[in-house]
Structures are given as structure tokens and as C-alpha cells.
């Protein structure tokens, strides 16, 4: 039977339940156990796909096309595994499924209630995600006491009642430091545990988030007050890098109570490579400055996977990737030379909508004309094509139908069906309620031999990367672009997936999102090559 580790949170949000859950899973995985993870989001949205990045942060895309919570990105990066739609579900999905069953008559005329119908559906989804595993780590979003979370806490209580020792509850809380009193305070944790116990769940372990070390006496006090074993009170002190947390948790003995509860032998994870990479993150021997030209800088969580992927690439190059944040909207009126000349590379990430687009095009033009190492992602590729058409092919009205639906020169356009020109096969698409067709999830990309993209991926002829976009590069302009020095280095069933410049040190743009497949121990090849070439250009300058 699968063992279930359920992680809940109290006091306030953003305590690090996701990193705690991912760290626990990473330790179990490196102990040779078969492990996966599940994120439960109590919000009523069916998924975060229609939510603003400023509202919810990044939308993480799974290989099978699921638009999920950004915590799934943490999970994949920590356990180096490919997760799917079933590893994340929301209140909206649960109620949608139950209502659909009721409409079909599956409940044989019964009155549909939160208990047992909603809670049974929650338990069914948890067990489906845990099938054929040694352990499933389940993170419940929000905080204990939230109204929208109550059905999920009840389901977890029932799961514990049914499976007994196969369920282990970890509760993450805050131990705040009051500077005026020069004291750490345990009362918020005690109240949070009281609320959890009122619901019917007794925590098996406390993870205490704090900015200062927690004295043994205070741990002992919380152990007694919250009815938790002394060795199950674990501290989570602020760290310089989230990748330190598995190491810190292991040193604090987090695995011992879990192994004891599940009747497992002593768990001794192999953390040698992890330690080496963390040391490089904390004490790099080199530094590279990347101009990050984005439009969601008010909430950098919007670019979470990309920021982490840059950390991974830096660690594998023993370098710190220092970002110079450039607001693309403000950049439209700035001096490109003055702003970018001191940067070692330019990165233009993805995004939606017309705001700040001209600033991104300005940065791309500078990188192209000045031989600056450049990486464009998703919208970054589309804008690189538009910039090339305007300034190299002299197509003054070159634009995207996303920004100008009536453009006479649609370098980037919307097509409702993606068809292979040679074989007539359709590419898998997703039709959303907002209109338009979106490519979501993993697709095969054919790589042109001898290109920088091929070199980045070790000479691979085919690669598999994830997408999240509606608009495509228009193949009508391909021949003219190639005659002027642009190379289409990646394509999928007639669609342009990657481009680069023939006479440039390293200028690559991709339609896919390489950051979604980057992990600490296995960085994405395109982003790794980007940082490698930025360092190379810097050292030769």
C-alpha cells in the first residue's frame, strides 16, 4: 500500500509548504523510494489557466498539457520527475466532476452532499495520484481554518481514519520573532494546531518556519502543547537558497519519524550531488549579468520556473546568474545602449498581450546588431521574427495578429488548426472558452543538424519541450528570412519551433518554454547553453 504524507499550513500563507513538500519528496526519492507529489488547490477556478500572473503567479504546464499551480514546478525541479494533470486538482474540478456524475445519474437519485460525495471524490483523486508508489506527498493549499478548505481537511481526516498508519500529517506553521521583545513566539503555532485538531486532524510533525534558530526548550514546549513527539518538531529557518532545505531537514532528523511511522528501515538519502550543486549556488566562482526584459516585474513569481532554470544553469557552470530587471514598458523610452551594454546577455521571456512589446523588440534589436548573447522564449521568438522582418527585411508593417488583428503583414498569426503540411496530421490543441486555439504541453521538435540548438541538445535530432501559446510564426515569411541570414533550427509538423542567426555569436529563440523541463540535477539544455555562451563571451571580451 502507498504511504501518504499530507502537508498542511497554518497562521498565514506563503510559509513554504511547497518547498517543504518538495524537500520531503526529494529526500525520500534520494533514499531509493518510488515517490510522487500532489497539489490540492481549494480555489473554485477549474485551473489557473485564466488567472492573471499578478493574481496567482506563474501557470506551470505539465507534459500532458495541464495548466497547474506553480508548486508543481517546485515538485518537478526537486524530484527530477515528470508530473501530469492528475498531480494537481482544485475545488472547481472536484465539484465539476461530482455535478457531471449527478447529471448522468451515477448517484442513483441520492441527495448530493459535501459528505460523502465531495469528500469521496477528493479521496478518489488522492488515491489515483498515489497508485503504485511507495509514497505520495500531498500538499493542501491555503491555511487551516479557510472556509474553502474545509471539505479537503475532512477528506484528509477520513483518509487517516481509513488507512491509519499509512497517513502521516505534517503541519507547517510560523514562529514569529518580535524584535521589541527580542523573543520568538509559539502561540500562533499552538492556535493553528488547536484549529487543526478541532477539525479532527492531529499533526504527526510540526515544521516551524522562523527567521531565527528555535531553542530546544521551545521545541520541547511545542511538543508537549501540540501533542507531537519531540523528534517530530522540525525547524525551517530562512535559507539563502530553497535548495538548501532538503539538506537542512535531513540534518534536523526529519526522515526518522516518517520512517518509524511507515515501518521503513533507516532512510539514508544519497545527497552528494545535491550538496555539490548547492555549494555552487551559494559560493559560485564566476558571475554573469543577464538583462531580463519582462512585463510582469511587479510579481516575479510570474517567471518562477525561468528564474529557477537560470539558477540550475548557473550551478552547473559554477556561476552566479545576476539579473538586471528591465521593465519592457518603461524600456520603450530608455537608451538601449546605455542600459544593455554592461550586461553579458539578453533574455526576453514569454508573455501575453501588447503591453511592453515595443520595449522587448528594442532589446532584441540591440542584441542582434551588437552581437550580444540572446535567448528568446515563446513571445521572445515571435518578437525576434517581427524585429528581423522590420529591420532586416524592411517590412515596415510587420506585426502579430495578437497585437493588431488587422495587420497586413502578419509575421505571427492565429490559426485554429495546426496541420502538418506534408502529411496532413493535426498537432494536438486545446480549445479554450476565451476563444482561439492554444498549444499546451509537450511536443516533439525536429532539430536541424549543425545548428546551435543541435549543439545545445548534444546533437539530438528530436527534442521534447512544453508549450503554452495561441499564436504561431507565419511560414509565409520563412524563405525571405532564411535568405537574409536567419536559420530555422527547430520545427514541428510545418511549424517554426526555433530560430537563430547565422552571423551572430549566439542568438537563439524558441517557441516552447524550456524552463518547464529544467531541474536542479538536470538543467534544460537550451538555458544551460545560453549561460555557457554568455560566460564565454564575457571571458573573451
Q: Please identify every residue annotated as catalytic.
A: 378, 513, 515
Number of alpha carbons in the 13 Å side-chain half-sphere of residue 421: 8
Contact (Cβ atoms closer than 8 angstroms) between residue 259 and residue 267: yes
Q: How far apart are CA 24 and CA 16, in angstroms?
A: 12
Contact (Cβ atoms closer than 8 angstroms) between residue 100 and residue 81: no
Q: How far apart are CA 21 and CA 75, in angstroms?
A: 8
Can you count the helices (H) and strands (E) in the chain?
Answer: 19, 24
Residue 176 CB neighbour total at 10 angstroms: 18
As given in the structure block, the three cell numbers for residue 483 are 535568405
* Cα dist from 119 to 38, 44, 109, 125, 139, whole Å: 16, 15, 18, 10, 16
What one-character DSSP code corresponds to residue 494? T
Q: How far apart are CA 240 and CA 282, in angstroms?
A: 7
Which residues, other chains included, contact 45 with Cβ-Cβ below 8 Å and sequence gap of 6+? 51, 90, 92
What one-character DSSP code corresponds to residue 295? S
List b or e across 144-174, with b for residues whose CB sees 16 or more CB atoms inside 10 angstroms: bbeeebebbbbbbbbbbeeeeebbbbbbbbb
Q: How far apart are CA 72 and CA 88, in angstroms?
A: 8
As given in the structure block, the three cell numbers for residue 40 are 490540492
Beta strands 471-473 and 409-414 are antiparallel
Q: How far apart are CA 383 and CA 391, in angstroms?
A: 12
Phi, psi of 164 (to 5 degrees): 55, -115
Angle at 449 between CA 444 and CA 455, to 5 degrees: 85
DSSP SS3 for 150: helix
Phi, psi of 271 (to 5 degrees): -115, 20
What one-character DSSP code corresponds to residue 41? E
As given in the structure block, the three cell numbers for residue 156 are 484528509
* Cα dist from 278 to 188, 272, 314, 511, whole Å: 32, 10, 11, 30
Q: 488515491: which residue's cell?
A: 127
Q: 519531540: which residue's cell?
A: 230
Nearest CA-CA partner of 230 in 239, 241, 219, 240: 219
Residue 191 CB neighbour total at 10 angstroms: 15
Q: 492573471: which residue's cell?
A: 52
Amino acid at each position: 500500500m502507498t504511504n501518504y504524507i499530507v502537508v498542511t499550513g497554518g497562521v498565514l500563507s506563503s510559509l513554504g509548504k511547497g518547498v517543504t513538500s518538495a524537500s520531503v519528496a526529494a529526500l525520500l526519492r534520494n533514499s531509493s523510494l518510488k515517490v510522487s507529489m500532489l497539489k490540492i488547490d481549494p480555489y473554485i477556478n477549474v485551473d489557473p489557466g485564466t488567472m492573471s500572473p499578478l493574481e496567482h503567479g506563474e501557470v506551470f504546464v505539465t507534459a500532458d498539457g495541464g495548466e497547474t499551480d506553480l508548486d508543481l514546478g517546485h515538485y518537478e525541479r526537486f524530484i527530477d520527475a515528470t508530473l501530469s494533470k492528475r498531480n494537481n486538482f482544485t475545488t472547481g474540478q472536484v465539484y465539476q466532476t461530482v455535478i457531471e456524475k449527478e447529471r448522468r445519474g451515477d448517484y442513483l437519485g441520492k441527495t448530493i452532499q459535501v459528505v460523502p460525495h465531495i469528500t469521496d471524490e477528493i479521496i478518489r483523486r488522492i488515491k489515483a495520484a498515489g497508485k503504485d508508489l511507495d509514497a505520495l506527498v500531498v500538499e493542501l493549499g491555503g491555511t487551516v481554518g479557510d472556509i474553502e478548505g474545509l471539505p479537503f481537511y475532512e477528506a484528509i481526516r477520513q483518509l487517516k481514519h481509513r488507512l491509519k498508519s499509512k497517513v502521516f500529517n505534517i503541519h507547517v506553521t510560523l514562529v514569529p520573532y518580535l524584535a521589541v521583545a527580542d523573543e520568538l513566539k509559539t502561540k500562533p503555532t499552538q492556535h493553528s494546531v488547536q484549529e487543526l485538531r478541532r477539525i479532527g486532524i492531529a499533526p504527526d510533525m510540526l515544521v516551524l518556519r522562523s527567521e531565527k534558530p528555535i531553542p530546544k526548550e521551545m521545541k520541547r514546549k511545542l511538543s508537549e502543547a501540540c501533542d507531537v513527539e519531540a523528534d517530530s518538531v522540525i525547524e525551517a529557518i530562512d535559507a539563502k537558497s530553497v535548495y538548501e532545505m532538503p539538506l537542512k531537514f535531513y540534518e534536523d532528523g526529519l526522515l526518522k519519524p516518517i520512517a518509524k511511522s511507515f515501518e521503513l528501515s533507516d532512510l539514508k538519502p544519497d545527497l552528494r550531488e545535491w550538496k555539490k550543486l548547492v555549494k555552487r549556488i551559494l559560493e559560485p566562482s564566476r558571475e554573469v549579468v543577464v538583462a531580463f526584459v519582462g512585463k510582469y516585474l511587479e510579481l516575479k513569481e510570474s517567471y518562477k520556473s525561468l528564474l529557477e532554470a537560470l539558477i540550475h544553469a548557473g550551478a552547473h557552470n559554477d556561476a552566479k546568474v545576476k539579473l538586471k530587471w528591465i521593465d519592457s514598458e518603461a524600456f520603450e523610452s530608455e537608451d538601449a545602449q546605455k542600459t544593455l551594454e554592461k550586461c553579458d546577455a539578453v533574455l526576453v521571456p514569454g508573455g501575453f498581450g501588447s503591453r511592453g512589446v515595443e520595449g522587448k523588440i528594442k532589446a532584441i534589436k540591440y542584441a542582434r546588431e551588437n552581437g550580444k548573447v540572446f535567448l528568446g522564449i515563446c513571445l521572445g521568438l515571435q518578437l525576434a521574427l517581427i524585429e528581423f522582418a522590420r529591420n532586416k527585411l524592411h517590412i515596415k508593417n510587420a506585426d502579430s495578429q495578437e497585437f493588431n488583428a488587422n495587420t497586413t503583414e502578419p509575421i505571427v498569426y492565429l490559426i485554429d488548426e495546426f496541420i502538418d503540411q506534408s502529411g496532413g496530421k493535426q498537432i494536438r490543441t486545446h480549445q479554450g472558452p476565451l476563444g482561439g486555439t492554444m498549444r499546451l504541453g509537450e511536443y516533439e521538435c525536429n532539430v536541424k543538424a549543425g545548428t546551435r540548438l543541435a549543439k545545445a541538445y548534444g546533437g539530438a535530432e528530436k527534442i521534447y519541450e512544453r508549450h503554452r501559446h495561441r499564436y504561431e510564426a507565419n511560414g509565409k515569411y520563412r524563405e525571405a528570412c532564411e535568405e537574409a541570414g536567419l536559420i530555422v533550427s527547430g520545427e514541428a509538423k510545418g511549424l517554426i519551433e526555433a530560430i537563430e542567426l547565422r552571423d551572430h555569436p549566439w542568438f537563439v529563440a524558441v517557441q516552447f518554454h524550456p524552463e518547464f523541463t529544467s531541474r536542479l540535477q538536470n538543467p534544460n539544455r537550451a538555458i544551460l547553453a545560453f549561460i555557457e555562451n554568455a560566460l564565454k563571451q564575457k571571458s573573451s571580451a
